[in-house]
Chains A and B, each alone.
Chain A
Amino acid sequence: MPSQRILSGRGLVFLAVLVAAAVLVPVLSLAVPPASPFHLSAYAVTLVGKYLCYALLALALDLVWGYCGILSLGHGAFFALGGYAMGMYLMRQIGARGTYANPNLPDFMVFLNWHDLPVTWWGFSSFTYAMAMVLLVPGLLALVFGYFAFRSRVTGVYLSIITQALTYALLLAFFRNEMGFGGNNGLTDFKDILGFDIQSAGTRAALFSASCAALALGYVVAAAVTASKFGQVLVAIRDAESRTRFLGYRVETYKAAVFTLSAMMAGVAGALYVPQVGIINPGEFAPANSIEAVIWVAVGGRGTLVGAALGAVLVNWGKTFFTGVFPEYWLFLLGGLFVGVTLFLPQGILGLVDRLTAPRRPEPPAERPVAPDEQVLPAPVAE
């Protein structure tokens, strides 16, 4: 029977590493004295925690791109929306401790001379409500956007371009003060989360462990989805969309469903990211961010899930390293990565590993090559 096991050996190793990190890192950070060579600084914990959030974003992107062929250049928008939902909760937690000591309004609203809390902010004092929004806002946007786009059969690069336009439009919108999300400066100066000081080493370690847990959960969900018949249909859509349709599958429903699931995962990633970096601003909507996330997936190996997470951590570790040592060369390197991976390593690192370790195994999933004359786009110059 073609039903697959949900967790491969590689997946189990990945989960084991995450569990170990979730336990060990807090211990090394909190219980080991600072003098010890095994001590982890709060900075290091937060840095790696940030990578894990990126890894979850990459996982979400891999689910749609690697398995369903939807290259979203707007996943940063879902990440940022989740981040804003968390940021709004954190802003409400500040209470009267802001510069203007207004118990009802965040500082920037006082600064704008606002008197009432906008409807969009209602309920964000509640952690439960905020967490629901972390899932619902990106999910709903993805559902509505996906429903219309996929129903109209917007595919391939067209879809990529309009997802990019989506995040660009949100970028412009969130820059506006009138939107009520802090405009240019975004949301920052957070004090505490669930009553714990957001700066303390303990909270940071807890956030780190939560990121590990979210990534692990995200992985299990993604693995279960891709191993199910639903996942097989996704791959079928990726490889031969119209064949799938002529078999009676509602391609748009499948695409919208996986797109929505993926957007919610990205929202969770953003929500965990914000308390760790301490700020969320419209810059997170920048189209460049979304495209950068795509290269993480490509580097690790698309359609592998574990590879996507691995790629996100590797590329971001490289970014931290290079922007520290040779800031002027990082963009050359990142640009080179885009070119090099697409030209020489289309299956990413894990694809390469697979090919080297199991040369007799069939080729890993590839984007279906299209003969030039079969391409969608070339059309005659109009007369």
Chain B
Amino acid sequence: MTDPVLTSSLLYLDDVRVSFDGYKALRGLSLVLAPNEMRAIIGPNGAGKTTMMDVITGKTRPDTGTVFFGGSVDLTKRDEAEIANLGIGRKFQKPTVFENHSVDTNVLLALKAPRGAFDTLFGRAARDRRERIDGILRRIRLWDHRARRAGDLSHGQKQWLEIGMLLAQDPKLLLVDEPVAGMTDSETATTAELLREIARDHAVVVVEHDMAFVRDLGVKVTVLHEGAVLAEGPLDQVSADPRVVEVYLGR
């Protein structure tokens, strides 16, 4: 494997195909992401955005195709926990936090640390842990809520907490699925700010419907359609592409 595109990439998908009972969710999807790049992925419903995330994070095995992380690690042979520990974090479309744990504990559980059952049963807390948690809590604007039960947070706060958990994981790549769905405008603005902040030292893939939000991010955009890439480039260029216009308006 001496393909320079592959070796210099952080994430490399080539000709990935997935089908469910005859329904082709991905039809030869190819995508390359550079280290520390931030990318927005848009596309109509059923374009394969969520399936793509499932493939990258090991939830779904592709029928064919290659998925490499960091230029050398074959993701199709690993499961979710291994992939998470390689440094890929994922935020779900619906905010998923541990509702019965405190905000604090949620971040603690996500914090980069040995994940084995033996470590968590007998391990002692590392000294710098407190500062790291506090730092993250401040960054996601939940410092004042750190003792609350996560289930009692508002929708927007849960989204931030989940982003905070991803930060605590300190991944090389973050996959963020519709982070601003159901948010108020001010929450959306805060979230965009938060993501840009994160993008400074992490690669981020954001799947989003909200065009204003994508414009706000100001990054390269990939348009998915029917399980493959339809167009790629800056948002203005992409949205001028007649095929993209047809997909979005012609339906």
Contacts and interface: CB of A to CB of B under 8 A. Distances in A.
**Are chains A and B native binding partners rather than an unrelated pairing?**
yes
Interface residues of A, number: 31
Interface in B44-103: 57, 59, 80-81, 84-85, 89-90, 92, 96-102
A235 B101 contact: yes
**Best-surrounded residue of B57, B59, B105, B117 (most CB of chain A within 10 A):** B117
Interface stretch (B28-36, B108-116, B199-207): B108-116
28 contacts: A2-B105, A225-B121, A228-B121, A228-B122, A229-B108, A229-B120, A229-B123, A233-B117, A235-B100, A235-B101, A236-B98, A239-B100, A240-B96, A242-B59, A242-B80, A243-B92, A245-B80, A246-B84, A246-B89, A247-B169, A248-B115, A249-B115, A250-B81, A250-B117, A251-B81, A257-B117, A362-B149, A365-B100
B81 A248 contact: yes
A325 interface: no
A120 to B, nearest CB: 31
A95 to B, nearest CB: 42
Interface string A222-245: 000100111011011001101111
B165 A1 contact: no
B161 to A, nearest CB: 11
B249 interface: no
Contacts of A251: 81
A20 B231 CA distance: 75
Nearest to B57: A246
A199 B125 CA distance: 51
Given A225-B121, A233-B109, A240-B96, A253 B116 contact: yes
Interface in A188-229: 225, 228-229
Contacts of A247: 84, 109-110, 115, 165, 169
B226 interface: no
Interface string A328-362: 00000000000000000000000000000000001
A3 interface: yes
Interface in B94-153: 96-102, 104-105, 108-110, 115-117, 120-123, 125, 130, 148-149, 151-152
Contact of B90 (A236, A240, A246, A368): A246
Interface string B192-215: 000000000000000000000000
A235 B98 contact: yes
The size bracket of the interface on B is 35 or more
A145 interface: no
Given A2-B108, A232-B109, A248 B97 contact: no
Contacts of A240: 96-99
A149 to B, nearest CB: 16
B102 A2 contact: yes
Contacts of A2: 101-102, 104-105, 108
A164 to B, nearest CB: 26
Contact of A362 (B81, B109, B123, B152): B152
Contacts of A232: 101, 105, 108-109, 120
> Which 5 A-B pairs give the minimum distances between C-beta atoms?
A248-B84, A230-B121, A230-B120, A362-B149, A2-B105
Nearest to A251: B81
A39 to B, nearest CB: 45
Q: Which of A2, A225, A236, A247 has its CB near the most chain B CB atoms (within 10 A)?
A: A247
B165 A239 contact: no
B118 to A, nearest CB: 9
B152 A246 contact: no
Nearest to A237: B98
A121 interface: no
B84 A243 contact: no
Contacts of A1: 104, 125, 130
